[in-house]
Amino acid sequence: MKFKPILIVAGEPSSIFFEILFKTIKNNKFRSPIILIASKKILEKHIKYFKYNIRFKEISFKKDIKKIYPNIINLINVEYNQNRIFENISKKSNRYIKKSFDIALEILNKGITNKFINGPISKNTFLNKNFYGITEYLAQKTNSKNIAMIIYNKSLSVCPLTTHLPVKRITKKITKSAIINKVYIVNSFWKEYFKKKPKIAVTGLNPHCESIDIFNEDEKIIIPTIKLLKKKDYDILGPFPADTLFLKDNRKKFDVVIGMYHDQVLTPIKTLFEYDAINVTAGLPFIRVSPDHGPNEQMLGKNKSNHLSILRAIQFLDF
């Protein structure tokens, strides 16, 4: 097989995933075959509801996983009982989602593919308090110690040093080693997948990179670490105040911005590109990508959801 398949976990049954996947498949052709892990019953209900002519063939991941069919969805069925096509998100789907991830990880571990997409997952119900996000969930499942969450757009990407942490816990996680590890992962990822050395900007933690406190993280931690990384030949500058770094003339100088916390860099990137961005996890044994949005319950069944992010996710892995 010239192109390895793209493995997709549909995720939360009550989400816009099938709608945006149908729109993507209907209007685009991909070189890589698609393996979808989902409930056959739910898939059939959505095909009928949205009136899309979507073709699929059920396969067994135990027996004929190497028999992948082109130009059609290769479905691995995971049983799930859902009375209505659109139900409220609840813990009822947790076992179904976990089994879907378990099957996906088994396939990835076998080396059948290294391309993985997961559809929207409800963090509140599936992850609860055990994990901060799917990024951390997959890191634990694969025993990956150093990972990076990258919100990617070809014009500019961002990577938060800390991911799904409450704000009050952020400062304790900002360390010299944490910054070095994140820069190393981002730099390695760009060199491996884009064949280039990325231009990296780093934000400060405090407004204007200043603090009235005795201990200023920008002066004591971030600036010395950037100086060290520059000596190690990384193309890196900073720290920059986050409130001006994303201005047009500033952001065009860089490939990726490493910020100190989640909303510091995700808010501007989503404002700039909206659905034209994807969530990439670097540092796993495979390439994990997900559309950069959640289940979007309020849009269920309306057939008005923007499918650009899932399109970009599949295009990113179509090599």
Virtual torsion, Cα 12, 18, 23, 24, nearest 10 deg: 60
Domain that holds residue 154: 146-279
Residues 136 and 253 in one domain: no
Angle between helices 94-109 and 134-141 (to 10 degrees): 50
Q: What does R_g of the chain's alpha carbons equal in angstroms?
A: 20
Residues 204 and 139 in one domain: no
Query: Rounded CA gap, 259 and 64, in Å?
Result: 44
Domain count, the chain: 2
Alpha carbon of 82 to those of 10, 119, 155, 222, 271: distances in Å? 15, 18, 41, 50, 35
Residues 131 and 6 in one domain: yes
Residues 16 and 118 in one domain: yes
Residues 190 and 127 in one domain: no
pLDDT tens digits in sequence order for the chain, 319 residues long: 689 999 999 999 999 999 999 999 998 999 999 999 999 999 999 999 999 999 999 998 877 676 888 999 999 999 998 888 999 899 999 999 999 999 999 999 999 999 999 999 988 888 766 677 898 899 999 999 999 999 999 999 999 999 988 999 999 999 999 999 999 999 999 999 999 999 999 999 999 998 888 889 999 999 999 999 999 999 999 999 999 999 999 999 999 999 999 999 999 999 999 999 999 999 999 999 999 888 998 999 999 999 999 999 999 999 9
Residues 110 and 151 in one domain: no
What is the phi/psi pair of residue 309, to 5°? Answer: -70, -40
| CATH code of residue 31 | 3.40.718.10
Residues 182 and 126 in one domain: no
Cβ atoms of 130 and 136 closer than 8 Å: no
**Is this structure's pTM higher than 0.75?**
yes
Residues 130 and 243 in one domain: no
